[in-house]
Amino acid sequence: MTFSLTILGNSSAIPTSTRYTSAHVLNVHERFFLIDCGEGTQMQLRRHKIKLGKINHIFISHLHGDHTFGLFGLLSSYGILNRKADLHIYASPDLERIINDNVLAFNIFLPYKLAFHALDCSISERIYEDENLWVETIPMKHRIATCGFLFKEKPKLKNIRKEAIEKYRIPVKEIIRIKEGADFKTSAGQIISNMELTLDPPKPRSFAYCADTCYHKGIITKINNVDLLYHEATYTHDLADRAKETYHSTSYEAALLASEAKVGKLVLGHFSPRYKNLDILLNEARKVFKNTFIGEEGLTFSIE
């Protein structure tokens, strides 16, 4: 089953001639979650062949323009396309008022229900759950209230060995109990251990999104051992003072956090427009955490 992140925008503050601002799509079992919605997001969705109608949940980390300015156009386009499915937005409570003001001011037609979920970015809380996945917020350390997001698969039941079903003539009504961990008692009274009957399910996969934020060790307990970490890397470390002043991170700091949290893979993003060649940020990070990659627009990072 699919678990992958596609980068739609990686520029901080403003779009450039070659890069869009923050936007990302997480595909979990063919359910698509949009994380941040910078200017031009709907163009990038089309360019990378992600159907707009597949997105039913949008997570906004904070109310800076490079993470939100694409949202109003996207909502309008959904209206023009006569969307009917509910659209859920998870964000600061102030965004609901801003959206409502825009809808009124620009006479935006919304033939669908807009369900707003207000976030408290000062705490970590579970904000979404379905049969396969749950999502929790991660308090970031930025100039304004900002949430990161932790997406994690739910554990699956064990897989029963087909040969065991035949060998011990296990009835259908017993299979769920065995998958849940029970042993099996044969008609002759023999107890067959669950270990012999089953295979362990795949390890639940996880993804953490951390932007915008300065280096913040307080989040390590939330992102510890995640398979994929997206972390902002606005500057190289020679501009650490500037990063601290603006509550952003350097590529070195992002890599240090990834190393301390023992994550599987680190993807960098949210780069200052001053960097034309992103290799300088990548090289700096890889000296600390080798399994680091640049979040190039259009790239998809899969967790197998």
Tens-digit pLDDT profile for residues 234-266: 999 999 999 999 999 999 999 999 999 999 999
- All CATH 3.60.15.10 domain ranges of the chain, comma separated, are 3-155+205-302
Backbone angles phi, psi at 17, to 5 degrees: -70, -15
Rounded mean pLDDT, 37-62:
98
pLDDT of residue 188: 85
How many angstroms separate the Cα of 188 from the Cα of each of 60, 160, 168, 169, 222? 59, 21, 10, 12, 49
CATH architecture assignment, domain 3-155+205-302:
4-Layer Sandwich (3.60)
Share of the chain above pLDDT 90, in %: 89
Task: Give how far the C-alpha of residue 194 lies from the chain's centroid of Cα atoms, to the nearest Å.
Answer: 35
Mind spelling out the 3-state secondary structure of 82-149? CCCCCEEEEECHHHHHHHHHHHHHCCCCCCCCEEEEECCCCCCCEEEECCCEEEEEEECCCCCCCEEE
In terms of Cα–Cα distance, which of 249, 217, 276, 193 is closest to 19? 276
Q: pLDDT band at 105, cuts 50/70/90?
A: very high
Residue type (1 letter), 8: L
Residues with catalytic roles: 66
Tens-place pLDDT, residues 201-211: 899 999 999 99
pTM for the whole structure: 0.93
Could you give the angle at the alpha carbon of 207 between the alpha carbons of 151 and 40, nearest 5°? 90
